[in-house]
Structure 1
Amino acid sequence: MKKLVATLCMSLLSMPALAAKADHEAAVSSMFADSGALGMVVVTVHGGLIQVYGRGETRPGSGTLPDGQSLVRIGSGSQVFTAEVLARLLEQGKLSLDDTLQRHAGAGRTVPRRTGAREITLRDLALHQSGLPRGVTSGPPKNAAPFAWPGAEVRWAELKGGKTEAAPGTQADYSNIGYDLLGDALASAGGAPYATLLARLVTAPLQMADTTATPTPAQCARLMSGPDLDNSDPCGATIATAASSGLFSTPLDMGVWLRKLVSVVPPEASTCMVLKPWVARAAMPAMKGFDMPGPADALGIGWVRLADGQQAASPIWHKTGSGAGFMSYTALLPQQRSAIFVVVSKVDMKMLPRMARAGQNLLRQLGQEVLAQVGSEFNQMACPATP
């Protein structure tokens, strides 16, 4: 079924569509040449169509072109899935955005309160406004597998120590530990482990079997790799950080997910929730750690809105991810029903902004093609007010 979704029947394409696809191919080739990566896959979604473009090779010397079934790590892109689980549990009435973390901490866990500050809420965690640091201060144990650490016991012990960067709600500061704690809270509120909730509420209904924190040997055999990958344990379980950075996926799974986000008309309430801005940069005393793929002007649940004065009426929502030999960039044009996912088997933080800009340019092109095909009436996002 997935192969049918990704297959483009060339005989049915109009000449303008063929020309546009050639432009897409050229843009992807340019991105790959600039990346210096061993392998790259780009997924585009526009007009309900998913297209996959592979470049390079899956593993050193394999000679195999990466494709929609290649397994990759999405790093911090995992957080947009956490956002969806949060939105679904909110719809089910199992939690409130302004519930305290303490309410869903679980038995025997205590969330300390900074002197003179209020308690940390789920909204704070989702918006990176909890005041918590980026990660735990202690280092991983020797030979720890990528993204298999720190587990719940470690992060809750860190939280008990009371280390915070700021009072909750006073500034935005990127925090992986905050999202893993959010995953713990969702597990408590949802009555099941976070990975189970993710499958039940998000990935299983969309048949996204390759989006997981526990890849099978068969899935691991499809894992892309490059010179930056630690091959001592390249494909171990990552349940410990599934809510912040640990998920595996495939380009085709990501395409199915992105199409769901941008192609549902009218949009579901949970989709609206994850695609609407919550806090503008101007409303925050400080906002740190969100500008690498381009200047940010607002934070949403899991996503970051790109500051673009010339395109203010049609903002891009995006998310980067990196680690364990991979970098990824995910971006949406919700009002033009278009999206893009880029992943490379290389970690180069200096190159990431260039990759993001190239992805943004291609995404804008996709959005314009959609509007040209279906007209301006498609450029609507009638969402209810954010709860």
Structure 2
Amino acid sequence: MSRSAPAPQTSPTDLNSRHAAMALGLSLPADVVLYLLLPMYAREFGVTLAEAGMLLAANRLVRIAGYGFVARFYARNGDRLTCTIAVVAAAACGLGYATLSGFWALLPLRLMWGLCFAALNLSTQALATADPVGAARRNGRSRAFIAMGPVLALPLGALLAQWTGPRAIFGVLAVFSLLACFVTRRLPSAPHPVARPVKRFKLPNSLDGWSFMEGLALDGLFIVGLSYLGKDLLPGGAVIVAGVLMALRYLAEILLSPVGGRMAEHFGAERLLVSLSLVTAIALMGFGLGWLWSCAALIVVLRALQLPLLPPIVARRTPGPERVQALAARSVWRDIGAGAGPLIAGLLLPVASPPWIYGVAALLLALAALACGWGASTQSTNIQQGSA
């Protein structure tokens, strides 16, 4: 009898990427559940809808100023120490959401979580792209592991909010954040090489513009709008429907982000990014026109396919020691957009027409995607001319 072939061993790069993703997946649920519950239960948290928008934006906005510090701390101290500090602080944030009320009491927690997420997110991207071979596939799997925590926490949070109010779930999620310490102990402790500092302020490129619009449209306007508009359509069970749909967003990441990574390796990440973004813009317009749940489901699917595309593009365009700073820079631009999104939603949704709000966002997203594709083709042409 012939012996069966031994199972292929998982590479150290794959294992490190997986462990970083698991740490973020255990720490992220308190934040995503707050996005679900805070707009619907703003009064129970002692804030207005506009203040809720500012709180949901605060964790993004602090990363604009803090990502450089986080990137330097991460590069100097390595993944294990950086991520361990981050998951402990994330647990403290969850406990604060469960017990504190009022804008000024919750604001420090949102700022602290912003820096925690910056560290964990940078670790997942840096470890997933440490080896350029299979980076898109690895990043897709990483997104799937990250999504496992939110996909379970969102329906549970919606149900507990119906039964016991919006606070109890955050105490449970704080415990899960602490469990991530068992995962961070398995991360590498070696520091990361970094390039010499370059000019601090640079004009945004096409990838920066796309990252900004993706964050504004999908991580800001869409999520807050789903909670706010859904409340008006289904007053009784809106929290359950919105929670399930937001959980499906993360379930789509588990199922489809690995597919997006494989598609990127087959068709090209830039080409796929442009085409999926254009379809997303159409779905966003439909969302604003009133096809709320069907277009929201389509946006969820498209977003999941797009998530693994940007880090491999960044790693390919900026190899070597510049990679960590380049990944952080793209995250900053996404955070600028995602920070502005809840602010815009909190101010405009009560007074402006949703078709106008989401139509403008869709148009800008489509233009950013086309510019990103044009920039990729221009760069490819310049490379070919330089090698000729």
Give the TM-score taking structure 2 as reference length.
0.27
Relative contact order higher in (CA < 8 Å, ≥ 6 apart):
2
Give the TM-score taking structure 1 as reference length.
0.27
Structure with bigger strand share is 1
